[in-house]
Amino acid sequence: MTNKPRIAFLGIGLMGLPMARHLVAAGYPVTAWNRTRAKAEALGGAAVADTPQAAAQGAEVIITMLENGPIVEKVLFGEAGVRHGISPDALVIDMSSIRPSEARDHAARLVEVGAAYLDAPVSGGTVGAEAASLAIMCGGDEAAFVRAEPVLREMGNPVHVGPVGSGQVAKLANQMIVGITIGAVAEALALAARFGADPARVREALRGGFAESRVLDLHGQRMVERDFETKGRTATQIKDLENALATAEGLSFTSPLLTQATTLFQGLAEHEGDPDHSALILEIERLNAG
């Protein structure tokens, strides 16, 4: 017998699968659900449910790792959703990346049935998910965080940053920094190339200086090598930047760099589809063609 809480894990995708595997390996009893059942069945050692409602029944902790806010809402509150099978004392941990306003709405609706809520989006990508080294940004009350922390530590490094919605704000801050920095690196390397300098050597010269960053390291290398195989989707970057813009507008907060970065990524999507977000250099080059 185990004293560990029963977990329902909803969303067994590129991120959700390795995250849920860590929970199974740690001895948690896990029930998995995914819209495509075969993906849930790939999680060895877990039970598989046909609906979010069925997965939630008897679960003490319910984790969602889904694509966006509207999908999270449907899984939580739609027909055969979590709301219809949840126990009054269950804890819902939403690890999806959604708007802070959506997180607050979901929390309020779950509190009505006696459930606790934590928004806990992540950063680190599939590499971090597989290594259980994700940065996990948590919003909610202290009691919910204390309850969730042992579970979250199996997947990464959780930090409690404030009340409900604060985790999502932290994730948006992360995506703002990533998106704006990709733009800065792309623009700098494209300018160097226009002058006639070797972008690869310019990047090498900047490494270790004040401009050093993981974006210059990893994404700068992809730009130099013209390797835009998707590792971080442009569509996901746009979704997060647009969510950050909506949040800023709701706070009457002016974000000039965020606005410009969003416009550039939208242009990239219009002209190139959905490549890796490091392909933003292609949009910079297009704007400077001729």
Query: In percent, how much of the chain has pLDDT > 70?
Result: 99
Full DSSP string of 160-208: EEESTTHHHHHHHHHHHHHHHHHHHHHHHHHHHHHHT--HHHHHHHHTT
Report pLDDT digits (tens) over 4-55.
999 999 999 999 999 999 999 999 999 999 999 999 999 999 999 999 999 9
125 CB neighbour count, 10 Å cutoff: 13
- Tell me, what's the pLDDT at 125? 85
pLDDT class for 206, splitting at 50, 70, 90?
A: very high
- Tell me, what's the pLDDT at 224? 98
pLDDT class for 290, splitting at 50, 70, 90?
A: low
Q: Residue for token digits 């003490």?
A: 60
Asked if pLDDT for residue 118 goes beyond 90, the answer is yes
Q: Residue for token digits 């979250």?
A: 152
Is 171 annotated as catalytic? yes
Asked if pLDDT for residue 1 goes beyond 50, the answer is no
pLDDT, mean of residues 193-216: 97
What's the CATH superfamily of 7-163?
NAD(P)-binding Rossmann-like Domain (3.40.50.720)
Residues present in the chain in total: 290
Fold of 169-287: N-(1-d-carboxylethyl)-l-norvaline Dehydrogenase; domain 2 (1.10.1040)
Distance of CA 139 to the CA centre of its chain: 14
- Tell me, what's the pLDDT at 49? 98
Contact of 278 with 223, CB cutoff 8 Å: yes
Asked if pLDDT for residue 2 goes beyond 80, the answer is no
Measured in degrees and rounded to the nearest 5, phi and psi for residue 262 equal: -60, -45
Which one is catalytic: 4, 74, 171, 231? 171
Asked if pLDDT for residue 149 goes beyond 80, the answer is yes
Asked if pLDDT for residue 191 goes beyond 90, the answer is yes
Intervals of CATH 1.10.1040.10 along the chain: 169-287
pLDDT class for 127, splitting at 50, 70, 90?
A: confident
Intervals of CATH 3.40.50.720 along the chain: 7-163
pTM of the predicted structure, to 2 decimals: 0.90
Report pLDDT digits (tens) over 45-97.
999 999 999 999 999 999 999 999 999 999 999 999 999 999 999 999 999 99
